Every structure is written in structure tokens, then in C-alpha cells.
Chain A
Amino acid sequence: MTRFVLKGLACLGLVVSLGSGLATSASASGGGDEISRQHWTFGGLRGHFDRAQLQRGFQVYKEVCSTCHGMKRLSFRNLSEKGGPEFAEDGAKGLAETYKVSDGPNDQGKMFKRPGRLSDRIPSPFDNEQQARSANNGALPPDLSLMALARKVEVDHPFYTLPYHMIKDIVTGYQEGGPDYIYGVLMSYGENAPPYKDNGGHLAKMTEADAKANPAMPRCATVVSEPGQADVCNKMSEGMHYNEAFPGHQIAMPAPLRDGVVKYADGTPGTTENYARDVSAFQAWAADPKLEERKRLGLMAMLYLLGTTVLLYFAKRRIWSGVPH
């Protein structure tokens, strides 16, 4: 009987994951195999945010990213709410007051600017898409409030290992594809696209040293190879930046982070890597502010359900014992 139950559970799990994994493998946003999984405090079943990290992440957002990106779904009050960076309420209030927020119309029918309040949304840097594009070479810096859920790392597993990866991700509760991707993009800038050498229609990747010796070598963001045809080199477009993690390897965003651009108050070294990690964690919270509550409640719910299931199992066994079936 127990064997049957276990078998049933295993089957159920397998089929769910099979079905669902198809959807995952189908989604196409995000980068490729170049992006590796990071360790996050909020990953896994007992995941929780590191307050100090979220606070640093907010600082990076405010001092660097917010010149181009908004986070319109966040209000100042969220910054002091439980489960987030948990700034002291005064701190969040003071912070809000440093922003100018448009309000109105007033008694004279005029719009006016006033200092921000806790209930205000964090203002976006541009008034509209057109303004944002004209300030960014025609590219649109997307709002970052949901970025950590709107991207995934997509790895093209062969179909026969797919069920294994799906089950592994489900069982370990892996949901951090978004922050992995953002971190990947921020850390994967290159000076230039890699040089290639044309070997009779086949483009072979070369090193920078080779390129120095032969400056005429073409540099390709990506290479398209079709069987029976000469490889095609996609050169970098004007104003684009080479990035290994971004799909197509050309991104309109210039590398935003450099060692030392942000002064951390808590003694954490001001390295690009730390900035990238912290600002990714901050976005993970911004996209899923109820993550801690969810996981905490989840553990209790699972325990309760597990208990119920075990009780029902024994009740069922008792009732059916002596009844051939």
C-alpha cells in the first residue's frame, strides 16, 4: 500500500512537472546559457531578504539606475514596510521629502510641485515614453518594478534531461531566474564584440590578442550559422553596447556600474559585483514584496497539510483493512 502511495505521489509530481516545464521551456524572454545561478538569501523554501542588502540595493537604484529607470509600482511607504528594506519610517519620510512630486490641480486650477509623502509612488525620471526615448538614443529604459519577474534565464535542456531539471527546480523551489538574469546583464558587459576569423565561410572566434595582431578582423555580436551556407556576422549597431547575457548581445543601456560609483555606508566594499548583486536583490523584493510572508505561511501550510494527509492515510487504511480491493 505504502509503495502504491509513493508511486502515486511520484507519478503525480512527474506529470505536473512535465506539463508545466513545457511552459517554462517555451518562454523566450531572458538570456542564454551564459547566465549562471547566483546564491540569494531569498531563494529556497525558507528564503528571506537581507535588509541591509535591500537598503544598499535601493541606494544603488537611487544613485545610478533612477536617472533612466522608474519603479512606478513602489510607494515610499513600501520602503518601511515589513518584509522589505524596512527603513525606519522617519527615514522613508525624509527620503520622500527629497523628491518633488506633481500634484493638483489646486484652487486656481493649476498643477504644482510639492515634496513627496510616504503614500506617493516613487516618481519616474521621465514624464512619458517619448521623453525617455529621446534622452536614451531612441531606446526605452523599462520600468524596473516588475523586472525581476518579467525575465527568466532560459536554458535549452535537451528533452531527455528536461524532466530532471524541471523536477529539481520545483522541488528546490527555484524562482530566482529574474534576479539571476539582471545580475547576469549587469556583470556581462564587454569592451567590444569578440573578433572572428573567416575560415572559408566558417567564422571562428578569436582572442583579443589575435585582434591586436590583425585589426581588420570582423567583430560580431552574434553569428548565425545555417547548414550549407556561409556564416553571417551580426555587427554591433551604432550606439549599442556588447553584453553576453542580453539576447542578441547588443544592449542600448551603457554599462551602468563601475567600481566605486556608490559609497556604501555599512562598510560593504564598493565593487561592481556587490552593486549588481544588491540592486538585483532589491528588484526581486520590489517585484514580489510579499515573498517572505508567502514562504513563511507556506511552511506552516505544508506542515498542516502533511499532518492531515497522514491522518487521512491511516484512517483510509483502517477502513479498508479486511476489505479485499
Chain B
Amino acid sequence: MSDHLSSYEPKNAFSKWMDSRLPVMRMMHGQFVDFPTPRNLNYMWTFGGILTFMLMVQIVSGLVLSMHYQASDADAFNSVEAIRRDVNYGWLLRNIHAVGASMFFFAVYLHMARGLYYGSYKAPREILWILGVIIFLLMMATGFMGYALVWGQMSFWGVTVITNLFSAIPLVGGAITKWLWGGYSVSGVTLNRFFSLHFLLPFVITGVVMLHIWALHVVGQNNPTGLDIKTKSDSVPMLPFAIMKDAFALAMFVLIYAWFIFFVPNYLGDADNYIEANPLSTPPHIVPEWYFLPFYAILRSIPSKLGGVVMMFGSIALLAFLPWLDTSNVRSAKYRPKFKWFLWAFFFSVIALGYLGGKPAEGSYVIWSRVFTAYYFIFFLVIMPVLGLIEKPLKLPNSIMDAVLGGGGPMAGSAAAAAPEKR
């Protein structure tokens, strides 16, 4: 945390010389070695590290892929096939990157769910949370444009549907859409600029992630109790404790990731994207990648095009206001007996919206989409502010250490003393 002093001591002449000029090792040591982490973090806290790993994987694999990729409407699809067939281990690279995008989103959804459940968006973590929402938006833009690069049928028609949404904006919509396309329809020109942006955005994300981690290290991590770290006994140093746990969780995550890469690489994709883009033939069902489906369902649940677009973007923008929409001063849902159930209902709604987003927009699917969309907004705009005022939270433990030891009997002090703390 901000008042935490690094215990770094330069050992040799060079590091002493360096330390008095550019104390980067001191900074790294303070932030990633002896940084105090709450001792009670569960595995939901490992997704931040996993996300950082995935960002690096996407950047490295993407960089090599772009050495073989051709961003033109005539060559894009063929160049992807050439990567799959003729580039050495090109199939592996492509699977790493394509499956990687899905795993990235999978991790970010769990990361965000963790934040919602344990109230990590509340003071003093508002900026941290808002930076997270910005990262999420940038990720969505990156994922969307990356999918376009394959230039298969679903790429092309997905881009067509989504860019067309902008035409719903009154007065300037048509002009904006043409400007995005770089012409009068989705074409190779659009593809080319998407490639350029898809290359750029991950580096922008990296920058925002740095701010995100900076903000995290100013206020410190939240934890399952939602309590602040009060004394030293509440925390353990990041190395080896948190790092070791993160490493184990990352290994489990990579195990699943590798399963998809090697054994079911096309499970997450759409068969139609193995057909080259054809502007003259519209596929019967145009569906985005799975990680966009809840928002796609929200879009389609509204009968008016403009209304749908507003609701879809609103559903994400709303996240940025959570710190002020939630009026409860208890962070963790663990101690909020009513909120907890509304929150699980919210998680269920998002998954249900994901299911419905993949179904044709007809009949009962539309009705259910409306029900869950309504709940999505009611949860944030009504339940969160109101419940915080009327709900009676459970009794909070005195400290993190007390919670760990189960209520804090006379044992608390002695066990804390026995804990092998380095300092």
C-alpha cells in the first residue's frame, strides 16, 4: 500500500549504484515481493495475475501471427489458411491466439464477478474499478476487430451488423457509419483499419492495466471479508505466499487453455467462419462470439434499434457508476444476506442472456431476453441503491485474522504470533 515501505536492500556494488540513480529494483521489490496481501484471499483473486498472463500471450502470439497475415479482402482468408497449413507451427499459433481470446474473456468475467461479489468497486477502489471497466471496453473492441480479421462469413456479417448499429444514432449516424467503414459498405478498407486498430489496442490495454495495478497497489487488495488490512497480522508478503498461489492457479488455468488449443480448438468458434466472406450471401443466423452474447441479447430485446443500442452500451457504461449506485457500506456480499441472493440472480441473468443471445430472436426467446434485461437494469438501478439502505448486514468480524481463525477467540493472538512472517 502507499504507506508500505520497501524492505529492499541493494546487495552488490552495481545494484547500489543503480539504486541511487534509478531505483527500479526497489520499486519492483516493494510492489511485487514484500507487498502485503490479505492472508485470506481465495482463488477468485488469482484471475488478475491470469489476466496479465493472457494479455502477454495475446500480444506475443498476435505479433508473430501478424508477420504472416495479410489484411486485404482478397488475401486475408487465404493467409489465415496458409498460417494453418504452411507456416511452421502456424496452426499452434493460431489456436493459441483464437482460444486465448476466449480464455481472456472467461477470466475477465470471473474477475469482474469477484469484484461484484466482494464489493471491490467501493471506496477507496472506485478509480481501480473504473479503470477495469475501461479495460473491459477496450478488450471488447479488440476482440471484435480481431474476429473480423479472419474475413470468414461470420467475421464479415458480424462486422456488418455491429457497425450498422451506429447508423441508429440520430442525424450523424449515417455519416459515422460511412466513416467507420471507409466507404459505403464493409470492405477491404474496413478490414485494413481494423487490423491497424487490433494491433494497437492491446498496447493501450497494457497502459491502462499498468494504471489499474498502480491504483490497486495504492489502496491495497480487497479480500473475502471486505475488511481493510488493520494490522500486520492481517497480511502476508506477496512473495512467496500470493505468488505461489497465483502460480498454481495459473497452471490449472493453462491446463484448461491447452486442452482447448490441442483437442477442441474449434469448439469455441463458428463453423461459418471457415467459409470465406461473401458480401452476396447472408448466413441464416448471424451470431457474435460467445463472450458478446449477453450484450447481443440485450440489444435484440429492445424493439427499437436506437433503444437497443443505447441499452447495450448503457449496460456496460452502468458498471462505471456502481461505486455510487451501491449505498451499502458493507463491502462483501458474504455479510449481506439479502444482497447475496439478488446478486446470484444477477449472475444467473447474465448467463441466461448469453444463452438467449445465441438463439434466434423470436417467440419466447425474445420475451425471456426482455425479462432478464429488465432484471439486469433493475438490479443496478433499483436493488443496489435501495437494498443498501434497508438491509441489515450480518455482524462483521473484527479483523481479517479474526475471520480466518473463526470469530476470534483467545487463540487469535497466539496463532498470529506463530505465523511465519518474515518481518
Contacts and interface: CB of A to CB of B under 8 A. Distances in A.
A169 B248 contact: no
B419 A28 contact: no
Contacts of A13: 256
A223 B241 CA distance: 64
A206 interface: no
Contacts, number: 178
B293 interface: yes
Interface string A116-158: 0000000000000000000000000010001001111000000
Interface in B257-285: 258-272, 274-275, 283-285
A298 B404 contact: no
A61 B274 CA distance: 20
Given A22-B357, A27-B285, A174-B264, A325 B248 contact: no
A301 B259 CA distance: 9
A322 interface: yes
A298 B92 CA distance: 10
A230 interface: no
Contacts of A320: 241, 244-245
Interface in B101-137: 102-103, 105-106, 109-110
B289 interface: yes
A306 B245 CA distance: 16
B46 to A, nearest CB: 9
B197 interface: no
Contact of B355 (A8, A22, A322): A22
Nearest to A304: B258
Contact of B244 (A169, A177, A289, A316): A316
Interface centre among B39, B263, B291, B358 (most CB of A within 10 A): B263
Given A301-B262, A309-B248, A16 B256 contact: yes
B270 to A, nearest CB: 5
Interface string B337-373: 0000000000000010011011100000000000000
B420 A323 contact: yes
Size class of the contact patch on chain B: 35 or more
A80 interface: no
A294 interface: yes
B236 interface: yes
Is the contact region of chain B dominated by helix, strand, or loop, or is it mixed? Answer: helix
A288 to B, nearest CB: 8
A73 interface: yes
A245 B254 CA distance: 38
A173 B359 contact: no
Is the contact region of chain A dominated by helix, strand, or loop, or is it mixed? Answer: helix
Contact of B293 (A5, A23, A159): A23
B40 interface: yes
Interface centre among B41, B264, B357 (most CB of A within 10 A): B264
Interface string A155-166: 000010010000
Contacts of A111: none
B258 A151 contact: no
B33 interface: no
B251 A305 contact: yes
A289 B85 contact: yes
Size class of the contact patch on chain A: 35 or more
B275 A146 contact: yes
Nearest to B419: A323
A282 to B, nearest CB: 16
B73 interface: no
A306 B401 CA distance: 33
A255 to B, nearest CB: 24
A60 B16 CA distance: 75
Nearest to A45: B263
A16 B106 contact: yes
B290 interface: yes
A78 B85 CA distance: 10
A150 B248 contact: no
A290 interface: yes
A23 B85 contact: no
A28 B157 CA distance: 14
B171 interface: no
A23 B264 contact: no
Interface string A300-325: 01100110110011011001101111
A298 B256 contact: no
A89 B284 CA distance: 43
Contacts of A78: 85
Given A152-B271, A299-B262, A325-B404, 8 more contacts: A22-B355, A45-B263, A146-B275, A149-B266, A169-B267, A175-B265, A301-B258, A309-B255
24 contacts: A8-B249, A16-B256, A18-B351, A19-B105, A20-B267, A22-B293, A27-B285, A28-B287, A29-B271, A29-B272, A146-B275, A169-B267, A174-B264, A290-B84, A293-B91, A294-B95, A301-B262, A309-B248, A309-B251, A309-B255, A312-B247, A319-B244, A324-B401, A324-B416
Interface of B: 39-41, 43, 81, 84-85, 91-92, 95, 102-103, 105-106, 109-110, 236, 240-241, 244-245, 247-249, 251-256, 258-272, 274-275, 283-285, 287, 289-291, 293, 351, 354-355, 357-359, 401, 404-405, 415-416, 418-420
